[in-house]
Each structure stands twice: as C-alpha cells, then as structure tokens.
Amino acid sequence: MADAILSVPESSPPKPVQEDNEIPSHEILASIPKITVLSNLREELLNTVQKLKKDLQDWRGQLDSQVNTYRQELGELRNTLNTGVEHLKHGAEGVRTTTAETETCRETEI
C-alpha cells in the first residue's frame, strides 16, 4: 500500500491555457487560402474602382468639351438669328414706309 501512495498516476502533459479571444493555429492555417482569395478580390475591386474613376474623369472632360462647343455654336446661331430678325424688321419698316407713301399718293390723286 505504501507503493500506491508514492506512485503518481501518469498523465498527459498539461494543455496550454487558451484565452477566449485566441484563435487556434489550425484555424488560422485553414483560413489563409480564404484570406488570399479575399485579398485578391479586394485588389481586383480596387483596380476596377480606380479604372471607373479614371473613365469618369475622362468622360467629364469630354462632356465639358462638348458643352463648350455646343454653347459656342448656340451663341453663333443666336447672333445669326438676331441679325436675320433685324434685317426683317428693317425690311418690314421699308415696306410700311413704301405702303404709306403709296397710299398717300393715291389719296392725293383721288
């Protein structure tokens, strides 16, 4: 019985104490491929966003250029129209004057 008291039962080595917020290393190793895939997807998305931003800037530049061109053309058309209207006004005034003179001459003849 003395041997029983002195003998210590064999046990496995103590397990390391794991904190609640600590992730086991096998889970970390298992998630590396997923992280790599997500990183690649993130990089692709960032490249796509950068390309879209550049395309948008280019489009805005082209749009601004077209707007300026159309404004110039409209200004020229407005000037041409105003000139035409002035010519018509002067022509109409001349017709009125001629008509008035003709009527005056007829009245004096009668």
Segment 7-42, tens digit of pLDDT: 545 555 555 555 567 777 777 777 788 889 999 999
The DSSP 8-state label assigned to residue 21 in this structure reads T
**3-state class of 98 per DSSP?**
helix
Query: Which contiguous run of DSSP H or E holds residue 93?
Result: helix 25-109
Q: What is the CA radius of gyration of the chain?
A: 47
Distances (CA, A) of 89 to 75, 77, 85: 21, 18, 6
Q: Is the pLDDT of residue 110 over 80?
A: no
Query: Global pTM?
Result: 0.50
Is residue 2 predicted with pLDDT exceeding 60? no
